[in-house]
Each structure stands twice: as C-alpha cells, then as structure tokens.
Structure 1
C-alpha cells in the first residue's frame, strides 16, 4: 500500500504556504518524505558513505525525557549545548510523529519505524490482530494501555516484523553486548527490544535490614554489579510516609513523586533518577569487557515538567518548597549526567570509536490553558489522561468536564487526553464515528478533528485558526499537522484525533502528546565517533536516527524503514 504525499492545509495567504517549504539535505539517502517507492518509506539499502574512514563500532543513545529545545535554551544546559556546538547538530530537527509520548518514541528511535508501522501508535492500543490474546468477557473491545506493558511490547514489535537496533548490533558483533537502562520500565522495554542483552529498570523491593521500603533494579539479565545486595548502591528509597518533598500540593499532586525513582533524592548513597541511570551506564562501561550499545533514559526533566507545568514552573514556593522537584534542578542534573557519560567515554579512550546520540522522546507543553480537573488527590491526573475500561488496567470513569461531549455519546471505548485528544470507539460504524467527531468539534480548545481512513486521517471539521494565538503557530499547523496526525494511521490507532492549540492541556500542567511546537521541537545531536562539528541542514526527525546510525556504523539494513539515513560529516578518525 503506497503512502500518500503529505497534504499541506490551505491557509488564506500564500505567504504561509511559502514558509512551509522544507530544505533539502545532500547527505540524505533515498529522497524526501512523500516520494517513497515502497510501503515503509526510505533509508534502507544505503551504501557505506564514509569512504576509507574508520567507522564507530559502538553507539550510546541518551534520551533526556521531555527535553524540548526551548527547555535547553531557557535553562542553559551547558553540556547539552556543548554537544550541539562540537558535534553534528540538527537545528531544524523535530519529533516527526504523534503520539509524542515516551512509550512510542523510545521504539521509534531504535526501529526507524513510524508509529503506524511499528505495532502501536500511542498510549492506547486496539489489539485488532489478537497479538496479546483473547479479550476478557468484561472487556470485549480489546483496548490496552501500552505504558502498562513490558514484555508485551516485545510481542507487538515482533508481530510487526522489523528488527531493532540491538538486533543489528548483535549481528554485527555477536561477542559484544547491548544494554538498555531506564528508570521507566515501559521505556526500557520499548527502547531496547527483545534483542537487547540486558534491560535494567526498577521494580519494587522488599524491606532491607535498614528498614523502610525500597525500589531495586530489575529487568532482563540485570548484571550482578547493578543488582547488588539488598540496600546496595542501585537500590533507592520508596514508600514515603505521606508525600515526597513538596509534591503533595497542586498541581504536582496530580502526578506526584512516590519514591526516588525519578528524582535524585537526599541519600547520597542511594541517588535515584538521572544519577541512577547515568551511574548504571558508567558501571556497564567499567565492568563489561565488550559492549557495543548503551541506550539510556534520563527521566528527571519529564517528571518535573509534568508536575509543575514545564517552562511555566514557578519554582519552589511556600515554606515547604523544595528545589529538587522543580525544572531548574532537573535540567541541571540531566545536564551533569550527560557530561558524566561523555566524560567516561573520553576517560576510557573510546569516544572516537563511539557514536553518541543525544535526543528526547518528546518536548513539553506548558498547560497555561488547562482543561483537566485540579483535584488535590494523589495521582488524580490519570483520570484526566484516561477514560474507559482497558484490558490491562482499572476503570477510568471520572472524566474532566471538557471531555463530557465525547463521553456523553456513550461510545467511548478508551480515550487518551494530554495536549491532543485521541479516542478508540466501541462502535466504529460511519454514523457513530460521525457522531463522535461532531461531539469532539464542540469541545474546549479543539482546533480540528481528524478521522482515520486507512493509512491517513481526513480532517472532518473546519480549522479553528482563531484559537491559535500567533502567526508562528498557524504556520506550524499548516505545514505539519496533517503529516503528524497521519503517523498514527493504523487499524490499531485511534479512530478520531482532535488537535489543540499551543500551551493547552487536558491532563496535567505540563504534558506531551500533540503537534505543538513545544512537544515537537526536540534536539537531535550526533557526537563522538570521529564526527566533525558541521550541522545537518535537514528537518531531521526521530525516525531518522536509526537509519543514520546504521549508515554511520556501516551496517546494512535488512528491513525497510520510514526514516532517512543521513550521512554524518566526519573528521579523520583515529582508534584508541
């Protein structure tokens, strides 16, 4: 089935259309988006690209969760900015797909597949092929929440049929190992895939002799030097008696801290969050005789942004204010850990042999216009995010008022609402889909409603340009909205999508999910590996990372990918 060309929405001025014209990149393989000659796009079958220059044999991917370019600039992340300056930056990069959420993008990065081809598109998933088994009698709609999944994500990857980066690395050097490290379990399983030799994440731990509750390392083939004895370094504190730090108050209580899983914490012997993840990566480098891939997620920025409103975070307030939970501290910590990982590669003399990728799984939309319920109840934000009765979770039946026009149709199987609205309907007959689309068009803040039609979405409502507050927002919508919503067009994807304006969320005060520039404009930087500091001029997307890595490492792809394989500019590379 041949993909359609991306359609650009008409705007009432030729100037907008002119501004949407994208530049080209001479180093790209197999042309531009929309001109594909096979179902999964382009980027496979590329040649060597580097002549006689030595190629990197290792790759490190650092995902700073929720890191938008806006956050990098506003919080002056010097190590990240140094990588942008000294490595191969992509100033026009953007995420390039929806849902712009953690459980999707970690897999996009290491598969080269857009969501419509990778097995799931979003937090919601309809198991149309029965990959996850027969539905329970009480839940006949076969609807799941993907961020509740771990090894089930392997099933979805394998059913779609594509190899992951870890698979390629294992074939290229069977004696070397690939390690995936993420404090978020679902991120780790999506990121590494079944081909990762080790997946290191968190699980609940028993009480230690020191008392209290703990989280301990868990996953697949967790190395003994990470697992350790009870209460050793990679165990972190959990089970706070009430709430951690200052997150018991609004808006943080909608999605508060429950342990030192996402925050560094106050025990120097058991630091969590980004320090935990970076320390685990360093431990792998120091303990493994041969490794060729380390994929690591730093989650602290994401947690702070969700709790406090992204770049609208007011910082600590009141007598209970704690800087550690806020975005300024989170960005500073993430930046230090990026520097730590780069420093270790240099100290071991392997930086020139290691291709480093720094990126994010999505940006962060500041919910200055907020349509969720602000209820001072722990984790109430989940009721803003979800409505329905999924197979692998409880019932979400406390919708925010803004969602009621859709809920009142009585036809919602599952909805997911953040900075974009998605719904999987019980009855998918044309009349019922039209009814739900009409209801969504009346909902607060909606800029357009889109209905899935095979491999694309049709816009079925007028565009509410007056709800977009700036010329730049309108230009972005005109050039990118259709492309971005189409990346979810699969039979397991949402039946309907409604887009929202900038700075608007239905869920928690800082969120992801949609087409907004704050969610989409993320850093994509290539460093180490003997690269020069010449930037890529193209609009590099997350889906381009995988084929670009394979090209740089001289690994021949064996399966079609949606991404473009860019040639990275190199200096003369010497082995250490």
Structure 2
C-alpha cells in the first residue's frame, strides 16, 4: 500500500547554475511534435530520474516573468522543457485549489473542493450542507477531504524511495501540496511563535514537527518578526497588508522571511538529508503577496508614499527568481541535478484591476479586503456582513449562503430551487462588469445570460472567452462547488486590486516548466495544464499510476 509523502522546492536567484546546462534560444514548434533546442555537451544522465523538486511561485503569470526580467526562470524555460501554450486549466484559479491539483492530477470537481468556498455535501467536516471557507482549512480538514475523495498524491508514490518534504510559509498551500502524509513525510510551515526580548515572532511548525535543524527556539534563524507593516498600512495594500515577515523578506537580516525563509529551509533539508530525500515541494508566496497588495503589474512602486521597495512587485519577482537560482545551484553542486526532475510552475497568475474596474470597498482597517472577498456566515470563520456596495443587490435577495468574490463571482445559495436560482442569476447579470452568468446543473455550467462582449476590450479577450470559458468553469461543476458563477473581464476584480480566481488570461497563463534530469531543451506544443503535471512526473519517473487521474501524461524529451 502506498504511503503518503511530499516534496516542494523554493525559488532562488543565483545565476551559478546556468553552467550546468548549455543551450541556445527556443526554436519554433513543428506541426508534428515538440520543438527541440540545441544544447551543448552534457554529462550522461541516468536512465530515469529518481527525485522530484517542485517549485511553485505563487501568482507567477508569464507576463510577470517577462515584465520583471526573471532571468533564472527564463533560463529554466530555455534550458529545459517549456510549455509556451501552457495554462492553469481550471477554476477556481486560487492557491488552496491549485497546490492540490499539482500533486494529485485531479481537477477540482474530483479532488474534494473547488474554490475558497465549499459546501460539505457529504458531511465530511460537519453537518451535511455546511458552508466553509477552504483557505481556513488546517491539515486535518484538508486531509479529511483528500482521503474522502480517495486519490493518491505524488508523495504517496515517492514515499517508498525516500523522505518527502513540503515547505511553504502558507499552511494551506503546504497541506495541498503534501497530501495526507505519512511517517516518512514532513510539512514545514509557520505558526505563531514566542516573544523573545520583547519581540514577537512566527516560528516553524508542521506535520509532524519539522526536523530539529529547522529550529523554533529564540535565536533560531527560522523565527521571523511580527508587527511589521512597512509601507503597506495605506490604500490599496491595507486591504491585505503585510503585518509581519511571513510573506515578505523583512528588514531583519538574521531572520529573513517569505521566499528566502522557505528556500533556506529547502537548502537545509537538502544538506542534512542528502541521499535520504526523494521529493521536495516548495511554495514561494512573495509575488502573490505583493500582487494582492499593490495591484500586480499595475504596482505604483516608487510613487507610493513612504515607498519601501521590499513590499512591491519588482523586489518580490527578483527575490523569487533568486531563490530559483539558489535551488538549481544547490542541485548542481551536489551532483543531484542529473537525477532530479525539477518542475517550476505557479498556482495562478494575477489579474490587475484597471481604473474604474475595481468594485471593492475600502475602510482604513487592516485586512478589510476580507469583507470584499466573502459574504456570509461560514462554519469555520466569523460572519462576513459588510458586503461591498457593488454586491449589495445580490445580498438584498436574501437567498445567499456564501459568496466569494475575486476576479470571478461565486455564489452558494441557501435555497437552490429553480425559481431562486433564476432570481439570483437575474440580479447577478446586472452587477458591474459581469460578462456572463452561469448556473450549475450536475457536472456542467449552463450560461443563463447573454454574453456582454462590449465589456471585453480586445479581440484576444473575446477569443479566449469563446475558447476557454466553458471548459474552465466545468472543471468545478460538482455539488460542493458554487451554484452560480459570474465571469468578469480581463482587468476587473471585486476584492483587492490584484487578484485571481477566474477565467482571465492573466490568471490562467502561467509557466509550466520541467528541468534537470537530463531533459533536452524543448518546447512542447500542447496546451499543458496544471492537472497534467502529476501524470507527467510519474511518466518521467517510470512509475505506473494506481489511480485514474484527470491529467494527461506528456513525454519529456531527454538528451541522447
């Protein structure tokens, strides 16, 4: 029987690993197969890789890679197997969903939850039909839903050949990547920590407890400072501000947080465990945090009063890129790169609200954005009872159990009669910037409103909607998913100025890159999706799946 076990790696910036793989620029994709790119002499790779490193850079769209010149990420794309037409491939396009998709190969409709809202139709967590906010799930809640759905995780396949480690400053990201776990699996994340010499800290925790070399005692490098707001306690960042060094690097050199914290932990694991590990999965949250706070690629940067570069997009992108470089360098210097399959991807992209297309409210309170994200009284959170003005007509129907609003509007109804569904759908159709309203019936979403093409500003946006909207929405068509969904244009959010969740190209067009393991520089011409990562990994490792996955396994060309 398979045992549970995980592996994720953070992203770093150093360029030293570049010498490990020589290669030229990308070549055109052929009509019959992948386009290969020339590579210089390289050491003979083993027949099959036997280790896996997954680096998830949260919110990393391909546009962000290009705008902020992320050289290490671009180098992986050039030197490894890139997927220029790859995309996320599901909704909701959110962290709490995608991390689990990556290491399960299951679409949201088959994996246990589909979005930040969740209806417990089978009574797994409590009373049947109870409504929950999934980003509040701890390890036990997420494991219960994973086990109820019945599929294995990547950690289950890797567990027999070595230890698996998952590292993320964000707990629910770590638990999704890791799966339910086993004695041979270790999750490393954050929890509230001690007060040392008057300073409050966050400290590492996990399931089971982290290795002893990732210390939680006063003075440990792995404690990071709390009560730090930097320049984020103002609009728009105050909607979801940095209030400690969990997601940002911080200004304390001995206790750096965010992406550097995660990468330091990964490198410590690689150093201490050496040949004992078989998988490392790491999630880097810095880009995501900056994008939420400052509006993604519309970040005002130096125009911000009291500007601190450390909280903004350019710094976050360069920091994440540096972590990718550090990890690749460590693999090369240890001699592990040739036998390790490296996957670089994102859990979603980032939609940047244009002027006039942000439909949230703001009050000068930390984390007021939660009142834009949620309306309703979930079983595992406070009652969110201050809906933004734009959503008020929906609330006035009196039929709402829970809403989740980001770059898509999702509704779970108290009363799911046909009459109520029609009434609420009619109200949603008239909300600001809605392009279409969709009703779930079984395993399909049916469009119940005209398509507002006049709200889509470019031919490319309209073409993407025509080609992808139905496919993406149907990936969450299941009883625990939303009853009604409203799609929004490319540059629109209802929550914070930079967000995710919907069908927009900015949220869907993410990097999916495979490196290491003697792979030949290649562009796959297929539209590879996040759900395809897991079966592709198993194929590369020569492991036969024991469960039918939703994703497709692609052959990764290797050097001859």
TM-score by structure 1 length?
0.88
Find the aligned partners of 2:31 and 2:420 in 1 and give their Cα distance: 43
Candidates 542, 547, 559, aligned match of 2:535: 547
What corresponds to 1:190 in structure 2?
176
1:86 aligns with 2:74: no
Matches within 5 A, 1:147-166: 147-151=135-139, 152-166=141-155
* Separation of aligned partners in 1, 2:461 and 2:32: 25
Write the distance in 2 (CA, Å) between the matches of 1:518 and 1:317: 24
Other structure's SS at 1:206 match: strand
1:209-254: per-residue Cα shift (whole Å, max 9, x none)?
x3210000011121000124223001100134xxx11001100000
Matches for 1:312-323 after TM superposition, within 5 Å: 312-317=298-303, 320-323=306-309
Given that residues 96 and 134 in structure 2 are in contact (C-alpha distance below 8 angstroms), is that contact kept between their aligned partners in structure 1?
yes
Asked if 1 retains the 8 angstrom alpha-carbon contact of 2:120 and 2:127, the reply is: no
Alpha carbons of 1:458 and 1:57: their partners in 2 closer, same or farther (altered >3 Å)? same
1:219 aligns with 2:206: yes
Q: Distance in 2 between matches of 1:304 and 1:448?
A: 29
- Structure 1 residues 294 and 503, CA, compared in 2 at 3 Å: closer, same or farther? same
Residue 417, structure 1, aligned to residue 405, structure 2? yes
Structure 2 contact 143–179 (Cα < 8 Å) conserved: yes
SS class of match (1:371): coil
Aligned position for 2:518:
530
| Aligned counterpart for 2:240 among listed residues 255, 259, 265 | 255
Cα 1:534/1:442, change in 2 over 3 Å: same
Deviations 1:187-211 (A, max 9, x none): 1011101126000000001212x32
Q: Is the 8 A contact 2:117 2:134 kept in 1?
A: yes
CA distance in structure 1 between the aligned counterparts of 2:32 and 2:118, rounded to whole angstroms: 35
CA contact (8 A) 1:253 1:376 kept: yes
The 1-side partners of 2:132 and 2:372 are apart by 17
Asked whether the 8 Å contact 2:249–2:257 carries over to 1, the reply is yes
- After superposition, the C-alpha distances for 1:524-548 in whole angstroms (9 at most, x for unaligned) are 0000011010111100000000000
1:285 aligned to 2:273?
no
Q: What's the offset of the Cα at 1:350?
A: 0.3
Superposed CA offset, 1:365-397 (max 9, x none): 001110001222110000000000000000001
User: 1:352 is matched with which residue?
Assistant: 338
Picking from 156, 161, 166, the partner of 1:167 is 156
1:14-33 pair list within 5 angstroms: none
Query: 1:267 deviation in Å?
Result: 0.8
Check 1:311–1:109 CA distance in 2 against 1; reply closer, same or farther (3 A cut). same
Instruction: Give how far 1:404 is off.
Output: 1.4
What stretches of structure 1 of length at least 5 have no aligned partner? Answer: 1-21, 28-51, 136-140
How far did 1:402 drift?
Answer: 1.0
Contact 1:24 1:538 in 2 (8 A): no
Q: Hey, what does 1:389 align to over in structure 2?
A: 377
How far the C-alpha of 1:26 sits from its partner, in A, is: 5.3
* Residues 1:68 and 2:57 are matched in the alignment: no
Aligned partner (choices 378, 385, 389) of residue 366 of structure 2 = 378
Matched, 1:266 2:247: no
Q: Of the candidates 91, 116, 127, which is equivalent to residue 120 of structure 2?
A: 127
Structure 1 pair 520/326, CA: closer, same or farther in 2 (3 Å)?
Answer: same
1:404 equivalent in structure 2: 392
CA distance in 1, matches of 2:80, 2:215: 34
Identify the range of structure 1 (319-328 vs 492-501) with the bigger mean alpha-carbon deviation. Answer: 319-328
Q: 1-side partners of 2:397 and 2:177: how far apart?
A: 37
CA deviation after TM superposition for structure 1 residue 469, in Å: 0.3
Q: Out of 50, 53, 59, which is 1:57 matched to?
A: 50
- Could you say if the C-alpha distance between residues 458 and 318 of structure 1 is closer, same or farther in structure 2, counting changes exceeding 3 Å? closer
Structure 2 partner of 1:104: 97
Task: Tell me, yes or no, if the aligned pair for 1:88 and 1:527 is still in contact at 8 Å.
Answer: yes
Helix, strand or coil: the match of 1:91? Answer: coil
Equivalent residues of 1:263, 1:325 under 8 A apart:
yes
2:215 is the alignment partner of 1:230: no
* CA distance in 1 between partners of 2:352 and 2:110 (Å): 30
Q: Distance between the aligned counterparts of 1:79 and 1:415, measured in 2?
A: 39
The Cα offsets for residues 14-73 of structure 1, whole Å up to 9 and x where unpaired, read as: xxxxxxxx998858xxxxxxxxxxxxxxxxxxxxxxxx9610000000000000000000
1:73-103, CA deviations, whole angstroms, 9 ceiling, x for partnerless residues?
0000000000000000000000000000000
- Do 1:381 and 1:508's aligned partners in 2 also have CA atoms closer than 8 Å? yes
Cα distance in 2 for partners of 1:534, 1:561 equals: 25
Instruction: Give, in angstroms, the shift of residue 154 of structure 1.
Output: 0.5
CA RMSD of aligned residues (A): 1.5
- Give the distance between the partners of 2:303 and 2:168, measured in 1 at CA: 30
Query: Where does structure 2 lack aligned partners over 5 or more consecutive residues?
Result: 1-28, 35-44
**1:310 paired residue number:** 296
**Structure 1 residue 560, shift from structure 2 partner:** 0.5
Contact 2:46 2:339 (C-alpha < 8 Å) held by counterparts: no
Give the corresponding residue for 1:568. Answer: 556
Separation in 2 of the partners of 1:224 and 1:258? 27
| 8 Å Cα contact 2:203-2:216 kept in structure 1 | no
CA positional deviation for 1:134: 2.8
The SS at the match of 2:303 is coil
Does the Cα contact within 8 Å between 1:25 and 1:537 map onto a contact in 2? no
Q: 1:205 aligns with which of 193, 211, 216?
A: 193
